[in-house]
């Protein structure tokens, strides 16, 4: 499943990204700064 996470910063955002990646999801995370865009694929 593809997941977009807006406001992905701090410990909570990182934990959500890691858990979703472990479960095999494709994650697009966008933080509060324009420069923070994280994509992960399984």
pLDDT of residue 33: 58
pLDDT of residue 28: 86
5 burial class (0-12, 13-18, 19+ CB within 10 angstroms)? Answer: middle
- pLDDT tens-digit profile, the chain (42 residues): 888 888 777 788 889 888 998 999 988 888 765 555 566 655
pLDDT of residue 37: 56
Contact 26, 40 (CB under 8 A): yes
pLDDT of residue 36: 54
Give which of 15, 13, 17, 37 is closest to 27, Cα–Cα.
17
Give which of 35, 34, 33, 36 is closest to 17, Cα–Cα.
36
């Amino acid at each position: 499943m593809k997941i977009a996470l807006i406001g992905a910063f701090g410990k909570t955002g990182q934990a959500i990204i890691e858990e979703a990646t472990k479960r095999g999801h494709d994650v697009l995370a966008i933080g509060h700064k324009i420069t923070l865009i994280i994509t992960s694929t399984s």
